[in-house]
Amino acid sequence: MRRPLYALAGVSIVAAAVAAPHVAHTQAAPTSAPIVLSMATLAPAGSTWMNNFEAANRELRRRTGNRLSVRWFAGGVQGDEAEVIRKIRSGRLDGAAVTAVGLGQIHRPVLAFQIPGMFASVANFVRARDAVRPDIDRAFTAAGFTLVGFGTTGAPRMFSKNEIRTPAQLRTAHPWQWSDDLITPAVYASAGATGVRLQVPEVLGALQTGRVDTVFGSPLVAVSLQWADQLRYMSDRSNTSSLGALVVKTSKLESIPEADRAIAREVWTQFDGLLSRAVNAADDRAATTLTSRGVQVVRLTDAERAQWATLFSQTATRLVGTVGDSAWINRVRSAGQ
């Protein structure tokens, strides 16, 4: 059985070259042993994400003459994202493609980008990311990681068995809460609701038994994981970013000869763009598929939308001290305007 994933709609692969201090040649020595990077992801085999990762890996092997490649552990076989980050720290893995949950295990302040209502559009997100990216890169480097890309794609929405139009209606629902997530608990607390804590592989079964009746994720995720088969309603728009990135242990990157790191940079940059476009297109198709299957789109009135805006403002206040101080959260918000 495939292991599920959460909202990986934002997983982004771009490479950052890390200079090796004592490289004397521009090409890897022919006798050098091949370097195989061990990477993990919750994305299952055959998904949009894994198809892209595998295509990039084939190109990487071709360009480097098999001197450099990635061995992907797909479908969550290495554990949930918190466990994967622990394995990278201990040296049992070299890196991973992770969502905001995994990124937050390394540097919590990055989760400011995940606060609902933080940005009016993807363009606002990109503007804020570019403005503070040097600070984020330094923080990840200090933690022993190289943040290889940092972006958002897809559009996470709320899916439910019963129509939910206002925050008050969350109180009688049974919303899923990813066990290692820090954002949704604050949303639920602000609404007076109680989340059902589960790891990703447990969600489908919980939907089938009625233990959970509300989830957050992109349409592509809802279709891919068969969550949508158990749900009847979908919000009409996204109110949060869907973060994703490739993270690699810095010491491992520094062990790669300079010439092959340069090739990796070209390959991963190329396939990052391809992945973003593929996920966005697939997400749009998934939303259309869901409506054709009878999933109803919940279109809010202005008054109802104002109630959610108030909830998101309260959530941001509640998260001060958890994902960062107020100065950092306000800086991220202002940078996107």
- Tell me the whole-structure pTM to 2 decimals: 0.85
pLDDT of the residue at 10: 40
**Greater confidence, 58 or 31?**
58
Strands across the sheet with 214-217, in order? 214-217, 157-160, 233-235, 296-298
pLDDT of the residue at 125: 86
CA distance 164 to 147: 37
Strand partners, 36: 69
Collapsing DSSP states into helix, strand and coil, what is residue 330? helix
Confidence of residue 261 (pLDDT cuts 50, 70, 90): confident
DSSP-derived secondary structure letter, 160: E
Query: Where in the chain does DSSP place strands (E)?
Result: 35-41, 68-73, 95-99, 145-152, 157-160, 176-178, 196-198, 214-217, 233-235, 243-249, 296-298
Given CA atoms 54, 113, 216, 88 in this order, what sign does their dihedral have?
Answer: positive
> Which among 336, 208, 226 has a CA at the least distance from the CA of 217?
226
Q: Which domains occur in the chain, in start order?
A: 8-153+240-287 (3.40.190.170), 157-238+293-323 (3.40.190.170)
273-277: average pLDDT: 80
Name the amino acid, one letter, at 22. H
pLDDT of the residue at 3: 42
Answer whether 211's CB lies under 8 Å from 196's CB: yes
**What is the Cβ-side half-sphere exposure of residue 280, based on CA atoms within 13 angstroms?**
11
